[in-house]
Structure 1
């Protein structure tokens, strides 16, 4: 915990205590005022503001396609092994989506842990690369990433909500009343914007360090080579996203006599094949483009080429502590397949073209 980390916690607690103070003020106005007093109305307004601007603990999306332990015992067995090696607790539920990504988050008062697996990424990776990805995501909690923690994480979301609510509308054909309201909102909006900037600044370097540590954790669990290969696969995200949209066009328009059911059934394998067919010279071009673009100082993730260089320099020959053979990987894919087809049906129907 460096000075920036301490400052982030102090500011985060100040944000939460301000919400508590507004709630107490509202209750005090209501309990000390007469039935029809203006202060009762003001107190009620303050409580409504607290309800609107309260810290969000997150929730499992109602339409999420999920897998529980009974439906995917092989997958959860793998996740438990990775969690033990990482030194953190396992996930409670797994959700599937169509992103070229994977993430672990927590939600609710009980801080249940949710793993979100992007099916395109999952099928693009080999067995040990999958282990490296899981080690990376669990590593964020093993390393104590501030932005994922309860105190700082909820403070960031609270300030984001305040910023959204207080932001002046800026519409051109505003009425006089709207213009006055916008002028009144500018000072508190700028104040919240400043707090959001400060909290983001205090946690930025720690967030970048957390990515490096998570990478090294993925290398320790899945092997250094697998962790570096996973970063290379991420460079193909835009290419795979374009192919996904092309498949959606085929499914919706029946171009060249395509069968929507066939497109749906083979979607993830087709995307993985498309990624594997990207030639070596194109992959090298993508690496160079990413390096030339450099690094934005306000990015929470370090540049991919620096992350890859660190893995190759320090962990390139590091063996895996968790192994996943092809038989186990195929069994896990079979467990995922029914829910994966449901995700394919949704994305082909709902993706914006």
Structure 2
């Protein structure tokens, strides 16, 4: 037996549970594909979520499964899926009517939350004016105004540009923005006003300012590990959020959720170190439970619409980049935590002078090393992560359907050919345009 053959032979062992052959995973987990032995040996290191967050996750997982079945049924009948608008009360079928009712109730509840803020402001002003010089009424009025200012609806701001987070406008990267415009047009919307870039293993779209200008956030930790077509899928997914309704993303509901979260933080029980602390916790318990109830209700009313928007954004990703690229993007999301860990190791290695030849400039080649790390992940490990995701109900956050359900919908549905194929010359042009930004973010990362 040759040395290589011997190594291969010793790398195979029997599964202790079912006896099936198990290949040595090397630096990855060894597990059995036949019975899932050792498929999830790691204990999640995250802190146990609070009561509201646990409920959010349960609702998200259950809603994701129900919605997948609903969308699959529509598609099997040759339809593209239920109507997109959250208020589509006239949609065909009872599902559209229910979504329209839920969207209206969510908007009404959000308006009520803001009504409380307005009442605090008006009531505070009245107490100050009417009770000036009399007892403590002006003090209570000032407290009401202060609470109203804390809870007021807020417009998101454009992040301040720095080396950690460069902000690009059209003149800064015309080829990138041309690509963004093309992808946006392919999914039925328009492009963005600015692009914010950092080292995160994530991407998102949002609006900022009174005029609600559009902003795309690209995390190089995710962007750099994607193939060109997977980048198109990522952009198609994000722009899909603009072209499909999502009640939770409206300014009215989004700011109401922020106000309720602020109330929860304000009313959170304190560690009882004295009788006064215990008294305060008892007094604040009823409004705290009321706020929790309102928050869960608003989450529930908007969950279906939000998850449905995610599924439709995945459809937009497939339409722009093809089914294979959209499914590949789902897999890359599964290794996002590992990518973030790899970036953290690069940062620590740079600060502690570990890295041999990279010691002089640890930022040089950082993104290439990260891409090589992601490319080295074998298909067997991706399959393991898919199974782990299904066991744990992995999702990006409580607004997203579980990742394995999103992957299943893409891979088991009708295969879609890419609407946009990113030519190698175009990839080079965009990468060249982003070269200085990539260097800046890499330098900032290794120095932090």
TM-score, length-normalised on structure 1?
A: 0.91
Map of 1:127 onto structure 2 = 228
Q: Deviations over 1:82-103 (max 9, x none)?
A: 2222222321111112222110
- Which residues in structure 2 correspond to 1:1-353 (within 5 Å)? 1=87, 2=99, 3-35=101-133, 38-62=136-160, 64-169=165-270, 171-172=271-272, 174-294=273-393, 299-316=398-415, 318-350=416-448
Residue 60 of structure 1: how far off its partner (Å): 2.2
Deviation at 1:155, TM superposition (A): 0.9
Tell me by how many angstroms 1:261 deviates: 4.9
Give the secondary-structure state (helix, strand or coil) at the position aligned to 2:171. coil
Partner Cα distance (2:148, 2:199) in 1: 35
Q: Label 1:155 to 1:272 Cα distance change in 2 as closer, same or farther (>3 A).
A: same
Q: What residue ranges of structure 1 are gaps of 5+ in the alignment?
A: none
Aligned residue pair count: 346
Question: Which deviates more, 334-343 or 70-79?
Answer: 334-343
Distance 1:256 1:348, change over 3 A: closer
Q: Greater share of helix residues, 1 or 2?
A: 1
- In the alignment, the residues of structure 1 paired with residue 156 and residue 402 of structure 2 have an alpha-carbon distance, to the nearest angstrom, of 29
**Deviation of 1:38 (Å):** 3.0
Any idea what the Cα deviations from partners look like across 1:257-298, whole Å, max 9, x if unmatched? 3534532121111101100011222222222222333478x9
* Alignment root-mean-square deviation, CA: 2.0
Q: 1:256: Cα distance to partner?
A: 4.7
For residues 219 and 135 of structure 2, the distance between their equivalents in structure 1, rounded to whole angstroms, comes to 55
Runs of 4 or more, structure 1, over 6 Å off, are none
Contact 2:322 2:419 in 1 (8 A): yes
Gaps of 5+ in 2: 1-86, 88-98
User: Structure 2: how far apart are the matches of 1:323 and 1:250?
Assistant: 38
Tell me what 2:28 maps to.
none
User: Residues 141 and 148 of structure 1 are in contact (CA less than 8 Å); yes or no, is this contact kept in structure 2?
Assistant: no
Measure, in 2, the Cα distance between the counterparts of 1:145 and 1:265. Answer: 41
C-alpha deviation, 1:24, in angstroms: 1.2
* Cα drift, residue 222 of structure 1: 1.7
Distance 1:114 1:184 in 2: 42
| Separation (CA, whole Å) in 2 of partners of 1:336 and 1:49 | 44
Q: Distance in 1 between matches of 2:144 and 2:123?
A: 8
Q: Any conservation in 1 of the 2:189–2:239 contact (CA below 8 Å)?
A: yes
d(CA) in 1 for partners of 2:175, 2:135:
63
- Equivalents in 1 of 2:135, 2:425: separation in Å? 72
SS, match of residue 214 in structure 2: strand
**Aligned partners of 1:219 and 1:315 also within 8 Å:** no
SS at match of 1:106: strand
How far apart, CA to CA, are the structure 1 residues paired with 2:308 and 2:152?
29
2:211 match: secondary structure: coil
Q: Quote the Cα distance in structure 2 between the aligned partners of 1:160 and 1:66.
A: 29
Q: Which has the higher contact order (CA 8 A, sep 6+)?
A: 1
Structure 1 residue 300 displacement after superposition: 2.2
Q: Which has the larger radius of gyration?
A: 2
SS of residue matched to 2:369: helix
1:199 Cα deviation after fit: 0.7
Q: Which residue of 1 aligns with 2:64?
A: none
Instruction: Provide the rounded CA distance (Å) in 1 between the counterparts of 2:357 and 2:281.
Output: 53
TM-score, structure 2 normalization: 0.73
Report if the CA contact (8 A) 2:394-2:403 is conserved: no
Shift, 1:143, TM fit: 0.7
